[in-house]
Amino acid sequence: MRRPRSLRPAAAPFLGFARLLRDHAFPIAPEQTISFMQAVTLLGPRSMDDIYEAALATLAPSLDRRDEFEAHFRSYFYGDAKPSIEGQEDDETRIKDDRGAREEEKQTIRQEKGGELSSALEQLSSRDFQRDTDGLGQFRRKLATAVPARRSFRTERTRSRGTLDLRRSLSEVVSADGDIPSPLLRRRQTISRKLLLLIDVSGSMKQHTADYLKLAHAAVQGAHRAEIFTFGTRLTRITSALRIRDREQALARAAALVDDWDGGTRMGPTLLAFLSVPRFSAFARGACVVVLSDALERGDHCDLETAMRRLSARAFRLSLASPLAGDPRFRPETAALRAILPVLDDLVDGSSVGSLTDFILSLASSAPAAETIWKRVS
């Protein structure tokens, strides 16, 4: 990244250290970076200890990541070997963004377990998609008007049903030499909400992944604002690839981006990794978030529950589309599903493209909460 012209060369290392921490999922705000450089200026500094104390006080790493913070500090300023945190190699979740050079960002997330058919072991493979006809064209054409809308803070001119645009009205009075013209009105714009699809590409979802990717391509082509991520043992943003109009080319590009097809699943850690990147987390704010997954986790489901609660707090509507829900005998009885059911707006059938398209096109319609519906079924 090019250094701003106003930045003095002596300040560049401190700005670079803050960027290094952000690259390793430390939540560093721009204000903290400025405070760090100001603290270094006030301290002199007389020694490296002063710089470390300034970094510790202003960048404020959490207690559980203090050792990792110190390791990065010594690596960056002292040239020590690249820090290796105990247990990181097996439990880290990699983030792959299709923007720019598509660099991978490593997020240190605890391993999540839960569910009989899923695995936490990483297995890398490729995937090939072929063209077929599936009726998604009609879904693509309807989607733009079907996604829920919200009132923007920006305004637009209108001839009726608006509020008085006082500034323009006074300007018209002056232009008309004091005559009273027709009042000029403005009203707040109505814009579509974002649509965010989080697609599980683990081995237990193998038979549904191809259909989900085709649906995602139609969503990106049809919605005004759509974002698509895949997750298994890694998190990958594939939105840019799916913006290619030709579906065969778009899915081939997406297949090349994703490395963890048909492998294990770390749903909780990968969703936490998604939320730990501010730019990604912003995609979920006020959006219709649809998680396409069977939600089968192995072991403790605390990470999954935490991630879903945070997603629910940010999203306009949070839905889980599970292929298991297509079975009439299905009940949300696993520990993970019982934990996240209270924060879900919808738990719906994700076993077919038809059921998914019908559900997404109905997102603007109100419905009882998922917990209410499934308590009636049980």
Angle between helices 66-73 and 12-23 (to 10 degrees): 140
Residues 126 and 230 in one domain: yes
Asked if the model's pLDDT at residue 5 lies above 70, the reply is no
Nearest to 242 by CA among 264, 265, 258: 258
What pLDDT digit, counting tens, does each position of 179-188 carry?
Answer: 767 778 888 8
What pLDDT digit, counting tens, does each position of 234-277 carry?
Answer: 999 999 999 999 999 999 999 999 988 888 888 999 999 999 99
Which range, of 51-60, 105-114, 214-223, averages the lowest pLDDT? 105-114
Residues 57 and 168 in one domain: no
Does some domain include residue 330? yes
Does some domain include residue 3? no
Which pLDDT value is given to residue 205? Answer: 92
Asked if the model's pLDDT at residue 159 lies above 50, the reply is yes
What pLDDT digit, counting tens, does each position of 61-104 carry?
Answer: 888 788 888 888 888 888 765 554 444 444 567 777 766 444 44
Average pLDDT over the chain, rounded to an integer:
83
Which pLDDT value is given to residue 132? Answer: 45
How many alpha carbons lie under 13 Å from residue 127 in its C-beta half-sphere?
26
Q: Residue 43 is part of which domain span?
A: 9-85
Mean pLDDT of 29-40: 87
Mean pLDDT of 326-346: 92
Residue showing tokens 């006080």 = 57
Residues 197 and 187 in one domain: no
Please, which pLDDT band fits residue 338 given cuts at 50, 70 and 90?
very high
User: Three-state SS string across the chain, please?
Assistant: CCCCCCCCHHHHHHHHHHHHHHHCCCCCCHHHHHHHHHHHHHHCCCCHHHHHHHHHHHHCCCHHHHHHHHHHHHHHHHCCCCCCCCCHHHHCEEEECCCCCCCEEEECCCCCCECCCCCCCCCCECCCCCCCCCCHHHHHHHHHHHCCEEEEEEEEEECCCCEECHHHHHHHHHHCCCCCCCCCEEEEEEEECCEEEEEECEHHHHHHHHHHHHHHHHHHHHCCCEEEEEECCEEEECHHHHCCCCHHHHHHHHHHHCCECCECCCHHHHHHHHHHCHHHHHHHCCCEEEEECCCCCECCCHHHHHHHHHHHHHCCEEEEEEHHHHCCCCCCCCHHHHHHHHHCCEEEECCCHHHHHHHHHCCCCCCCCHHHHHHHHC
Does some domain include residue 320? yes
Residues 237 and 181 in one domain: no
Does some domain include residue 126? yes
Residues 128 and 206 in one domain: yes
Residues 320 and 362 in one domain: yes
Does some domain include residue 68? yes
Does some domain include residue 147? no
Q: What is the CATH number of the domain that holds 354?
A: 3.40.50.410
Residues 165 and 264 in one domain: no
Asked if the model's pLDDT at residue 16 lies above 70, the reply is yes
Asked if the model's pLDDT at residue 349 lies above 80, the reply is yes
Which pLDDT value is given to residue 46? Answer: 80
What share of the chain has pLDDT > 90, as a percent?
Answer: 41
Q: State how many domains the chain has.
A: 3
Does some domain include residue 1? no
Residues 169 and 305 in one domain: no
What pLDDT digit, counting tens, does each position of 105-146 carry?
Answer: 444 333 333 444 455 555 565 555 544 446 799 999 999 999
Which pLDDT value is given to residue 319? Answer: 96
Residues 255 and 208 in one domain: yes
Which pLDDT value is given to residue 289? Answer: 97
From 49, 68, 85, give the residue that closes a domain.
85
Which pLDDT value is given to residue 71? Answer: 87
Which pLDDT value is given to residue 86? Answer: 44
Residues 329 and 280 in one domain: yes
Residues 276 and 359 in one domain: yes
Residues 56 and 123 in one domain: no
Contact 114, 296 (CB under 8 A): yes
